[in-house]
């Protein structure tokens, strides 16, 4: 499950989610996938490299909530 700390635009959100889900399909954990997506955005060209566009996203999993 995912969550955001503040609202960001659809275009930047789509890029973060596309990168994250690609990592999930490749076998990454949700935390790893989101981290890799954020790093990819950080190192990209263009306005979406700014943390405002990707920093609010969080991965919330059972392991973070006290499960497993």
CA distances for 42 relative to 22, 39, 48, 53, 67, angstroms: 17, 5, 8, 9, 31
Tell me the C-alpha distance between 68 and 55, whole Å: 26
Q: Is residue 37 part of a domain?
A: yes
Q: How many domains does the chain have?
A: 1
Q: Is residue 30 part of a domain?
A: yes
pTM to 2 decimal places: 0.80
Which pLDDT score, from 0 to 100, does residue 62 have?
74
8 or 22, higher pLDDT: 22
pLDDT in tens, 9-68: 899 999 999 999 999 999 999 999 999 999 999 999 989 999 999 999 988 877 655 544
Question: In which domain, by residue range, is 35 found?
Answer: 2-59
Q: Is residue 35 part of a domain?
A: yes
């Amino acid at each position: 499950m995912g969550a955001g700390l503040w609202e960001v635009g659809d275009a930047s959100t789509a890029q973060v989610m596309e990168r994250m889900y690609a990592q999930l399909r490749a076998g990454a954990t949700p935390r790893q996938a989101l981290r890799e997506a954020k790093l990819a955005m950080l190192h990209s060209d263009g306005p979406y490299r700014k943390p405002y566009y990707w920093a609010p996203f969080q991965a919330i999993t059972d392991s973070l909530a006290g499960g497993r």
